[in-house]
Structure formats: structure tokens, C-alpha cells
Amino acid sequence: MRKNLLTFLIAEMALVFFQQAAVAGEIGRPRELNHSDAIKMTMINPPRVMYPAAAKQNAESGTVWLTSTIDKDGNTKSVQVTKSSGYPLLDEAAARAYEQVIYIPYVENGEPIEVSRPSSVKFSLSIKRESPSGDTTK
């Protein structure tokens, strides 16, 4: 009888814990890394960001802010633009590049865990000027 009561109490405590965690939105959500933790993650396959030709021709520039979800194996599960550059071509190019990134898994308490990681991509055009000697400089 005592063993059954103990089992029942443990089950009830676990149920309350999981209900509270679900309400708080913690179950099934990756751990959100802050900037200092995010920069510690090692990329096995870094992003290869391509500046879209049409964006260059239109002199579009800006910074795209992203949040990537990284699974326990280090693969990028999803990428969301959290702050747009103001130019859809740049936003799409940044997100596409980060979708291909592979990381060394993030480990917490000796176990790899799923995390969400902030990143940014800055698209900037350099202006080339001709010097009086005819040389081209940036």
C-alpha cells in the first residue's frame, strides 16, 4: 500500500512539473543561446553567403538578423529572419546560406542538446574610386 502511494505521488509530481513546463513553453523548444554562447559554437560547414546580382545592381545593402535552430547532431533544422535588411533578396540569400551550416553539437551537462542561435549577415557594397594616377582603390 505504501509503495503504491509513493508511486502515485511521484507520478503526480512529474505530471505537475510537465504541465508547468508546457505552460512555460519549455518542452519541445530548443535552448536559446545568448551571443557569447552562440559564438562558441564551431561551424563544420560555415555559411557561403552569395550577394545576389540583382541586389548589387540595385545597390541594396543592409544587415539581416537570423535565428537558426540546430539539432542535437549539429544540423541546421530551420532558419528564421528575425530582422529584415529591408530587401527580400538579401534576406533570402542570408537564410539560404545559414540553412546549409553544420555545427559541432552544443553540449550541456555532457549531452548534446537542440539550441537556437542568433546570427547576422551584413551585405555591403564597396565603392571603387580612381586615383589621380589612374589606379583603382577601394
pLDDT at 132: 56
Domain CATH for 56: 3.30.2420.10
Q: Mean pLDDT, consecutive 10-residue segments, the chain of 138 residues? A: 54 50 57 84 94 97 97 97 98 98 94 95 79 50
**Buried-exposed string 43-79: b where 16+ CB fall within 10 A, e elsewhere:** eeeebeeebbeebeeeebbbebbbbbbbbeebebeeb
pLDDT of amino acid 81: 98
Q: Domain check: are 56 and 40 in the same one?
A: yes
pTM, two decimal places = 0.70
User: Nine-digit cell at 88?
Assistant: 527580400
Q: What's the structural domain count of the chain?
A: 2
- pLDDT given at position 5: 52
* Residue 96 belongs to domain spanning: 33-124
Q: How big is the CA angle at 121 (ends 119 and 122), to the nearest 5 degrees?
A: 140
User: Would residue 134 count as lying in a domain?
Assistant: no
- Residue 78 corresponds to which amino acid? S
Q: What string of DSSP letters covers 91-124?
A: HHHHHHHHHT-EEPPEEETTEEE-EEEEEEEEE-
**Same structural domain, 11 and 37:** no
